[in-house]
Amino acid sequence: MRTEQEMMELILSVAAADERVRAVAMNGSRTNANAPKDRFQDYDIVYLVDDIEPYLREPEWIDVFGERIVMQTPDDNALFPPERESRYAYLMLFADGNRIDLTLIPASESDAYLAEDKLTVVLMDKDGRLPALPPPSDEDYRVRRPGPEHFRGCCNEFWWVSPYVAKGAWRREMLYATEHLDIVRDMLLKMLEWRVGWDTEFRVSIGKSYKYLERYVSEDVWRRLMRTFPDGTYEGVWAALYEMGDLFRETAREVAGLMNFVYDEEEDRRVCEYLRRVESMGRE
């Protein structure tokens, strides 16, 4: 596996030799001092270029980065239309295990791009025109303190979607039930995130897909969270749903008390009664 030094030298040498590339920047976990370092970290690279079109007419130009296992060009994927038509990304996993997510952005959009992410660092500026950036910070990714309306919306979504899970389990529609179980779990994760935020004075990030959450919750909470993933049986779906409800209720009450919010106990009670009624119907 090529080392970080080898990869960075390659990324910068390719840019230096190409007159169309006017600057190079990087963001993501490799610029985040608070992110754990390991061999699977991506290289999130941006080439600020004069014009994107010539690169698109020569798709083989990226071969210089090495042998690829697989590549995705999300801006060409009809399933996921691009958010910005002026940019073009190459997501490349190489045979040695390294990965580069390389995005081409018109140099004319430099100011807008540099303002998007506080983790951005400039690696090369051929024209010396880019502004000086402050040291990279994960501030944009930290847990944000909720307002009462966010808390209420999270609670309402949790209890509104829970009956969908029950309905799917009663109908013996496993995919439907588990899809909605995932939505319910996401609200639980959001509530746990807010609890962590309070404990850390909203100064930490728990990462994409809540990947650092385990660091900040107790072993008991983590074990209970793991029990919200069903085992492929309908009994497992019911058990996961009830586990989620108990953990959500406990955490939401804590958050409400700490942040002076109101937890709707009646909504909780009515939905739980309904869930138990639907489950009992399934046993008739």
For domain 4-140, give the CATH number: 3.30.460.10
Of 241, 77, 75, nearest to 167 by C-alpha is: 241
Reduced to 3 states (helix: H, G, I; strand: E, B; else coil), residue 119 is: coil
CB atoms near residue 125 (< 10 Å)? 15
Q: What is the pLDDT of residues 66-121, one digit of tens each?
A: 999 999 999 887 777 667 678 999 999 999 999 999 999 999 999 999 999 999 99
Residue 223 tokens read as 């074990």
- The domain limits of the chain are 4-140, 143-282
DSSP result, the chain: ---HHHHHHHHHHHHHH-TTEEEEEEESGGG-TTSPP-TT--EEEEEEES-SHHHHH-GGGGGGG--EEEEE-GGG-TTS--S-TT-EEEEEEETTS-EEEEEEEEGGGHHHHHTT-TT-EEEEETTS-SPP-PPP--GGGSPPPPPHHHHHHHHHHHHHHHHHHHHHHHHT-HHHHHHHHHHHHHHHHHHHHHHHHHHTTT-----GGGTTGGGTS-HHHHHHHHTTS--SSHHHHHHHHHHHHHHHHHHHHHHHHHHT----HHHHHHHHHHHHHHHHHHT-
Q: What is the pLDDT of residues 162-187, one digit of tens each?
A: 999 999 999 999 999 999 999 999 99
Residue 244 tokens read as 């989620």
Pick the CATH number of 143-282 from 3.30.450.20, 1.20.120.330, 1.20.120.340, 1.10.287.3510: 1.20.120.330
pTM to 2 decimals?
A: 0.89
Q: pLDDT over 90 for what percent of the chain?
A: 92
pLDDT at 273: 97
Long-range CB contacts (within 8 A, 24+) of 170-176: 170/278, 170/279, 170/281, 170/282, 172/234, 174/232, 174/234, 174/237
pLDDT at 225 over 60: yes
Q: Average per-residue pLDDT in the chain?
A: 95
Q: What is the pLDDT of residues 16-70, one digit of tens each?
A: 999 999 999 999 999 999 898 888 999 999 999 999 999 999 999 999 999 999 9
* Separation of alpha carbons 52 and 166, rounded Å: 50
